[in-house]
Chains A and B, each alone.
Chain A
Amino acid sequence: MPGSVSTLKKNFPARYESLVEIARFIHPCCQNACLDSNSCYHVESAVDEACSNIIEHAYAGEENGNIEISCQDNPADITITIVDHGKNFNPENILDPDTNASLEDRESHGLGLFFIRKLMDQVEFSRAADNSNILTLVKFKK
């Protein structure tokens, strides 16, 4: 219904095998929010990068945590909230990669967070009182 807000929420085990399931959860959310296919791909990419980082860094590949994802379809945007209970993460410590560097000097890491920042309209990292990490990603509807 135009103007209404709907939220879908799901928990995923924090392992790389979950990434395809996460994409299957996010894709219809983007389609139902009437995002165009480019914007859908951007949201899917940002969520994939964020969850990959959580699995690799917050949970350090230990595979014993969860990632809780909620997808809120607002009138003017789609807001994805990703919660984990792993190690704290300070995005200010991560610099953007030099995308003009020569092949020899090109770093192979650091693109994930760069993609998240570039592909979404708003990105916010926060820490809840129970020590969980909360990442909020917003994509505006055009």
Chain B
Amino acid sequence: MKIVSSQFKSCDLLKVEGRVDSNTAPQLGEALDKIIKEGRFKIVLDLEQVDFMSSAGLRVLIMTQKACKRYNRGEVVLTAVPQNIYSALELAGFTSLFRILSDTLLAVGNF
């Protein structure tokens, strides 16, 4: 798994590539925790290049969403979600807990 992060004025963008499983999910969790610990809570997560995500990855997403939405201080927005991963989000009942947008740049611009 590879994570490319960029910090914008309005939000942080994380582009994730490869597999997010029990082995790599902690690395994604650390990258997201770092942003939160620095006091930023508006995060766009671009999943276009993710080819596999297990429940360990979903666990990281839900914990980060809980932390970001606390006190209405922000949120995690998911973008360019591949169909297989969207189906997993749907099965887990996560599609009502995240805004899911197709266009990453638009998501960054609209924050």
* A interface, size bucket: 20 to 34
**Whole-angstrom CA separation of A95 from B59 in the bound complex:** 17
CB distance from B38 to the nearest CB of A (A): 22
A96-110 vs B: 1/0 string, CB under 8 Å?
A: 011111011010110
Interface of B is mostly: helix
Query: Given the complex, which residues of A lie within 8 Å of B59, measured CB to CB?
Result: 108-109, 111
Inter-chain contact A52/B21, CB cutoff 8 Å: yes
Tell me, yes or no, whether A23 is within 8 Å of chain B by CB.
yes
Binary interface encoding of chain B residues 51-62 relative to chain A, with 1 for a CB under 8 A from any of its CBs, else 0:
010111011001
Which residues of chain B come closer than 8 Å to A112, judged between CB atoms?
Answer: 54-55
Q: Which residues does chain B contribute within 8 Å of A98, judged by CB atoms?
A: 93
Number of B interface residues, CB 8 Å? 22
Q: Given the complex, which residues of B lie within 8 Å of A41, measured CB to CB?
A: 52, 84
| Residues on A with beta carbons closer than 8 Å to the beta carbon of B88 | 45, 115
A94 within 8 A of partner (CB): no
Query: Which of A13-21, A69-77, A85-93 interfaces with chain B?
Result: A13-21
The answer to whether A44 touches B55, judged by C-beta atoms less than 8 angstroms apart, is no
How many pairs of A and B residues are in contact by the CB < 8 Å rule?
Answer: 72
Say whether, besides A48-B54, A115-B91, A16 and B22 are in contact (CB < 8 Å). Answer: yes
> A32: CB under 8 A from chain B?
no
- The verdict on B19 contacting chain A, using a C-beta distance below 8 Å, is yes
> Is A44 touching B52 in the complex (CB atoms < 8 A)?
yes
- Residues in chain A near residue B6, CB distance under 8 A: none
In the complex the two chains form, is B21's CB within 8 Å of A118's CB?
no
Q: List 8 A-B contacts (CB under 8 A).
A: A16-B21, A20-B21, A23-B19, A45-B54, A52-B54, A106-B66, A109-B59, A115-B88
Q: Which residues of B contact A (CB under 8 A)?
A: 19, 21-23, 52, 54-56, 58-59, 62-63, 65-66, 69, 84, 87-88, 91-93, 97
Task: Add 5 more A-B contacts to A38-B87, A56-B22, A99-B93 (CB < 8 A).
Answer: A19-B21, A41-B84, A55-B22, A106-B66, A111-B55
